[in-house]
Structure formats: structure tokens, C-alpha cells
Homo-oligomer: A and B are copies of this chain.
Amino acid sequence: MTTMTERTTTPADRPALGLRERKKIKTREAIRTATYGLIGEQGYDATTIEQIAERAEVSPSTVFRYFPTKEDIVLTDEYDPLIMEELRSRPADEPWPDSLRYVMHRATQLGADEDPEVSRLRTRLMVEVPAVRSRMMQSMSSTGRMLCQAIAERTGRDPEGLEVRVYAMSLIGGLMETSLYWAENGHREDFQALLDRTLDVLQHGLGTEKN
């Protein structure tokens, strides 16, 4: 227990990570960068783990140690915890739809902060490579669990109850489709705008607007 904050001989606010940790992070990024590069050059299927290992200057074994599957190399997904935290820090009396909208906006801002190229490549792969989409959907399940938890906290319901679970998954399904839509249309439209339209549909169903 008690991660860090213990024996930080370096008084600076720097990470204070050991050489080992730093190397691990570097290896992780080397693998990801190599993967993005190779996929960009030759496509997803044509890119083998061996090639990735070679370009990242590690052994194939190491690649598997860092990422359980090839799809996981491109699907980072480190946002969920951030989103959860953001959600929890919203005022308790704020209407739920408002909280949701606010947090989703924040999340897309975070997404835009990182290299937009990467974020687009990722969504493009979601559309084009079935395996990646599958993996993505799978990760949706765990995201759904967290959402259930958050909703349960806010509404005092059972996080394992059917209603909460159904609601969470329908939400995620809708949001997922928004990403696909965005990617399928060549990332032309403004994602935030799409998001707003999506949330409208999820709140009010298919209303009477034109299209």
C-alpha cells in the first residue's frame, strides 16, 4: 500500500521515478509510436508484431508483455478514470443530463489535447478494422460498469439493477455510434456539435425535428 509520497529524496516536484519505471514508460511509448507509424504506412493487418518489435527495438515477447493483444496497442483508453472523477466532482444538485453533457464536453477536450492525428487514426481503425472495433466495444462494457457506479451514486439506485445497467449501456451505445459517424464522414464535422445532437436524442428520443 501507500504508493510513493515516501522517501522522495528528490525535493523537486518531479516524478521521482526510478530508472526502471522510466524505461518502462519509454518502452511503452516506443511500441505505440512504432505501431502507429507502421499501420499508417502499410495498414493494420499487414503490420505484424514482429515488425512492431523490430522498429521499437524490443523483442516480440516484450510487446506482448506490454499489451495483451495487438488491438490494445492502438486503443489506449486512459480516460475512463478521469471522466469518472469529473463526474463525481459535479454538484450533487445538478440535473443528471446537465452533468453528463458537461463531462462529455470536457472529455472531448482532453481527447483533442493529445495528437489529433492519433485520435483520428484510432477512430478510423475502429471503422475499418473489425478486430479493433470489437476490442473497442469490449472496453465499452467496462466503461459501462463505471457509468453504472456513477449513476448509482447519484440516484441512489442499485448499480447492478437492470434499469441502471440498461440506461448506461444505451448511453454508451449512442456515444459510440457518434464516434463511428464522425470517423465515417472523414472527421469533417465538429465533434462537439455531434455530441450535443447525440445527447439530445438520448434524452428526448427521436423528437420532431426535421432530420
Contacts and interface: CB of A to CB of B under 8 A. Distances in A.
Contact of A169 (B135, B163, B166, B173): B173
Interface stretch (A28-36, A57-65, A104-112, A197-205): A197-205
A189 B82 CA distance: 36
A162 B206 contact: no
Interface string A108-151: 00000000000000000000001001110110110010000001
Nearest to A204: B205
Interface majority SS (helix, strand, loop, mixed), chain A: helix
Nearest to A138: B134
Interface residues of A, number: 43
Interface stretch (A5-13, A19-27, A86-94, A176-184): A176-184
A75 interface: no
Contacts of A85: none
Contacts of A177: 144, 165-166, 168-170
Contacts of A138: 130, 133-134, 137
Contact of A157 (B164, B203, B206): B206
Nearest to A161: B211
Interface string A96-107: 100000000000
Contacts of A84: none
Contacts of A137: 134, 137-138, 140
B167 A206 contact: yes
Contacts of A48: none
Contacts of A163: 197, 201, 206, 209, 211
A96 B208 CA distance: 13
